[in-house]
Amino acid sequence: MANEELNKRVYVHELKKGLNLEQVTGNEESLNRWIIAPDINRPGLELSGYLESNDLKRVVVLGKKEQEYMAKLDPVIQKQRFEIITDSYTPCIILSRGFTGNDVLYSLARDRNFPIFKYTGETYQLIVDAVAFLSERLALGDIMHGVMMNIYGKGVMLLGKSGIGKSELALDLIQRGHMLVADDRIDYKRINERIVCEAPASLKMMLEIRGLGVVNITRLYGAKAFLNKCDLDFVIRLVKYDEKEEYNRINQANDNIDFLGLHIPVLTIPITEGKALSVIIETAVTEYILMRQQGIDPNEEFRERIMQEIKKNGADND
C-alpha cells in the first residue's frame, strides 16, 4: 500500500464544496483545516460538560436538539461549552436545517476564525451525506494493473501478464454489451465492506489495443460502454496454458486474493489458441452469480451425480 495512504486527509474546503454548504463564519484560511476521520460527532456529552472521552477530531454536527438544550443554559456556560467544540482540533461545525442560530456560538467562531456551515437538509440526511463523502475520500486504497469490467452487473477484474490479451478481451466483451471501468491501471479503495474500483482520471474511458493504440471506447460504442466505478466482486486470472501444469477441473474458484483485508474470490483460466475466451468469461461470471447469490454449485451437483452413479453401480453388482 502506498505510504501516503497512512496520512490521508480531507480539507474543510473540499467538504464545503462536496456537500454544497453555506459558510456562516470563518474566512478562506479557516477552510484549510484537516479532516482525518470518516465520521461525524454530535457532541451531546461535550455540550453537557463531560470531557472524559470526547472525540473532537471529527466534524461536529449540531441540530435542533442541541440548540434547544444550549438555549436553556446561561450565556457564560454556553460560551464555556462552545469553546470545547471550536478548538484547534475540531475541523468545522455544520448546522442542520433545524438549527436557527446561536449568537454566543457565532461570536466565538468569528473571534477564533472558526468555520461554521449551514446545511439545507435535515440532520439525519446531513449525517448520511457527510459520512458517505468522508468515507470515500478517506478510504484506504491501492492500485492494481489489469482490466476492470462490469459483466452482467458484477465487477470483474481481469489479471494476467503483460501481452496475454486482457485489453483485447475487454474490447470483445464491450462489443458483447458489457462495460469497461479501467484498463491497465485500476485504482481501488476499501469503503466499509466493499472494494470500489475506478480508473485514474487520465485513463478513464481509454483502452489500449496493441497495434492500434489508445482508443476512447465511448466514442466508438457510446456512453453505455463505460462505467465510472463499480464494486469488485470477482477476479479472473488469465495464464498461458502449460501442459506440464495441472489445472483443477472442478471447483477452481475456492482461492481468493486479499484486497485491503477483504477476500475476493479468484478463478484461474488457462488460455489456448482458438478459445472463445469472452464466452468463457461470461460463463464464469454467470456461474459465480449462481453460486454466490442463488446457492447453486454446479461442481457439487456434478460430484453428487458421480456419487449416485457409484452407489448405483455398487448396488447392481450386489
> Which residues are known catalytic residues?
145, 166, 184, 249
Q: Give the integer Cα–Cα distance in Å for 197 and 187.
A: 6
Phi, psi for residue 133 in degrees, rounded to 5: -65, -50
Among all chains, which residue has been given the C-alpha cell 435535515? 122
